[in-house]
Amino acid sequence: MRMSAAESCLDDRMRILGSTGAIVLSASCRLLFIDRNAIGLLGTLDSNWRTTTGVEPLPPCLMAMVQEIAAHSTIDRCPDSLSAHMSQVFGSRSQPIRVQGFMVPRNEQQDRRFVLVLSRSNPGTMT
């Protein structure tokens, strides 16, 4: 039986000890939600990234991931399920950050949401 993107995120989160953070973006990639753990993990991922106003863009690697998810999404075929799940490891070898992303489709294309789940990864898991 195939595992949903949300279940996969939960499984990985349970296996990897450490902070886990969440980010939610609108269809136009506007930041809708970011929790404190995600802010801390983004600081580890990109030391130049700051969120002084709460509207700072995400690091380029995460924006590229969101764009790739959008390009591979099949909204019209499965409007009630998660689509286009991706998982990548970013950052330094000593402090890798696993980013799992997926899109939550809605009835209207402009209502879709992108969810990124960030978590600390074990050193040595980068390829």
- 85-108 pLDDT tens trace: 899 999 888 889 999 999 987 776
Contacts of 108 (CB under 8 A, 6+ apart): none
What does the pLDDT average to over 65-74? Answer: 83
pLDDT above 60 for 44 = yes
Query: d(Cα 34, Cα 116) in Å, to the nearest integer?
Result: 9
Query: d(Cα 119, Cα 83) in Å, to the nearest integer?
Result: 21
Query: d(Cα 123, Cα 80) in Å, to the nearest integer?
Result: 36
What does the pLDDT average to over 22-47? Answer: 90
Which of these ranges, 11-15, 71-75, 81-85, 111-115, has the smallest mean pLDDT?
A: 11-15
User: pLDDT-derived band of residue 43, with 50, 70 and 90 as boundaries?
Assistant: confident
What does the pLDDT average to over 106-112? Answer: 72
Query: d(Cα 105, Cα 75) in Å, to the nearest integer?
Result: 6
Find the helix or strand (DSSP H, E) in which 77 lies: none
DSSP 1-67: -PPPHHHHHHHHHHHS-S-EEEEEEETT--EEEE-HHHHHHHHHH-TT---SSS-PPPPHHHHHHHH
Average pLDDT, the chain: 76
Q: What is the pLDDT of residue 48?
A: 76
- Count CB atoms within 10 A of the CB of residue 17: 10
